[in-house]
Amino acid sequence: MRLFRLFLPAFLLLSLPACASDPWVELGGERYSVEVADDDAERARGLMFRDRLEPGHGMLFIHEREAPQAYWMKNTRIPLDILYFDDARTLVAQRRNVPPCSLGDRCPSYPSGAPARYVLELNAGEAARLQLREGATITFGPGIAPSP
């Protein structure tokens, strides 16, 4: 029993960093766990072929530089909100309730209309629920860093 009491605090301390290091963003007063797509392959795959995006989760796409962006829903099975943020992490454009698309290369694209560096995809309806307006800011949790 004495050994148990000695090792339990050490075990608990070692397990904390794993929980604390999960990437997250805050937007509209809410925190979302995110998968980070920060290279070409991850950005191209995005949320394709998924049947569900858990509530409170999303995908954060990080581009090398701020530029006009355009996203599409090729092989995406769930409706999404696509939110575009500039270098200052300010919301510059949003495409709400973007429908799934299985038409391959005939899927429409959804351009940012303004230079953006970060793109956040959330379940459709989140932007409306949060009452997001252009000018809203996003906060990144520790460990989310721009691509070099």
Q: Which amino acid is at 131?
A: Q
pLDDT higher than threshold 90 for residue 136? yes
**Domain assignment of residue 14, yes or no:** no
Q: What is the CATH number of the domain that holds 102?
A: 2.60.120.1140
Nearest CA-CA partner of 117 in 97, 143, 93, 136: 93
- State pTM to two decimals: 0.84
**Domain assignment of residue 146, yes or no:** no
> Looking at residues 114-121, what average pLDDT do you find?
98
Of the pLDDT bands very low, low, confident and very high (cuts 50, 70, 90), residue 143 is: confident
How far, in whole angstroms, is CA 124 from its chain's centroid? Answer: 13
* Sequence-ordered list of residues with C-beta below 8 angstroms from that of 145, at least 6 positions apart, any chain: none
pLDDT higher than threshold 50 for residue 11? no
**Domain assignment of residue 91, yes or no:** yes
Q: What are 58's strand-pairing partners?
A: 34, 122
**Domain assignment of residue 41, yes or no:** yes
Nearest CA-CA partner of 118 in 92, 141, 79, 100: 92
Share of the chain above pLDDT 90, in %: 78
Cβ atoms of 118 and 61 closer than 8 Å? yes
Please tell me the total count of domains within the chain.
Answer: 1
What is the strand order of the sheet 138-140 is part of?
91-98, 80-85, 109-123, 57-72, 30-37, 24-27, 138-140
Q: What pLDDT does residue 145 have? A: 77
Question: How would you class 93 by CB atoms within 10 Å of its CB: exposed for 0-12, middle for 13-18, buried for 19 or more?
Answer: buried
**Domain assignment of residue 5, yes or no:** no
**Domain assignment of residue 133, yes or no:** yes
Residue 77 structural domain: 23-140
**Which tens digits make up the pLDDT trace of 26-84?**
999 999 999 999 999 999 999 999 999 999 999 999 999 999 999 999 999 999 999 99
Tokens matching residue 18: 């794993």
**Domain assignment of residue 95, yes or no:** yes
Pick 80 or 148 by higher pLDDT: 80
Pairing of strands 30-37, 57-72: parallel
**Domain assignment of residue 70, yes or no:** yes
